[in-house]
Chain A
Amino acid sequence: DAGVTQSPTHLIKTRGQHVTLRCSPISGHKSVSWYQQVLGQGPQFIFQYYEKEERGRGNFPDRFSARQFPNYSSELNVNALLLGDSALYLCASSIRDNTEAFFGQGTRLTVV
């Protein structure tokens, strides 16, 4: 069975640009969460979606947005990129809530 897949794996963007990151959850999983992991730190929660509805939002500016599609895949969008947005962006899927959440390999975003 395929695990959580994220695309792209690496991305370099210029300050001020916009980026879209994509995530496909494990088959049968209806909940998708997004996390930001800065080098040397633990993942920080950004969003959770369940059944296409936003269930939770972390302490991130409005430049960050996300959505979940009918097939339960998800996109994370970040506008007006800042140098500080450089991080590993992780997607986690789970059946319903965040117990037994499985992470993808992440998207390494570098803002220059």
Chain B
Amino acid sequence: QQQVKQSPQSLIVQKGGISIINCAYENTAFDYFPWYQQFPGKGPALLIAIRPDVSEKKEGRFTISFNKSAKQFSLHIMDSQPGDSATYFCAALFGNEKLTFGTGTRLTIIP
């Protein structure tokens, strides 16, 4: 049972553009929503995270937008750079339970 749905599966964005990745969840008990960045051959790296009591969180070029009523959240990467090319995973967590990951988005930034 997939509890976190992620889209798109792949995304190509021009350098300097905005990359947007979307996730939707089913379990309303989830209370922590992180995004991870993974480069080939490496483990996922925590990028940014949000809790449902805020609608937006920004760290540098990365912003999470959160819509509690729609049970959706998204990652925005502003001024996308070739070094941002990686696979991005959204995830959700409830209390002390396990992280539930989305299926991933392969992002490619082209010059």
A interface residue numbers (CB < 8 A to B): 4, 33, 35, 40-45, 48, 55-56, 58, 90, 92, 97-106, 108
Contacts and interface: CB of A to CB of B under 8 A. Distances in A.
Q: What range describes how many residues of B lie at the interface?
A: 20 to 34
Given A45-B100, A56-B97, 11 more contacts: A42-B6, A42-B91, A55-B96, A90-B43, A97-B93, A99-B34, A99-B49, A102-B45, A102-B46, A103-B43, A105-B43
Closest 6 CB pairs of A and B: A42-B101, A103-B43, A45-B98, A97-B96, A103-B44, A106-B43
Contacts of A48: 98
B99 A98 contact: yes
Nearest to B36: A103
Interface in B45-92: 45-46, 49, 89, 91
Interface in B24-47: 32, 34, 36, 41-46
B111 interface: no
Contacts of A41: 103-104
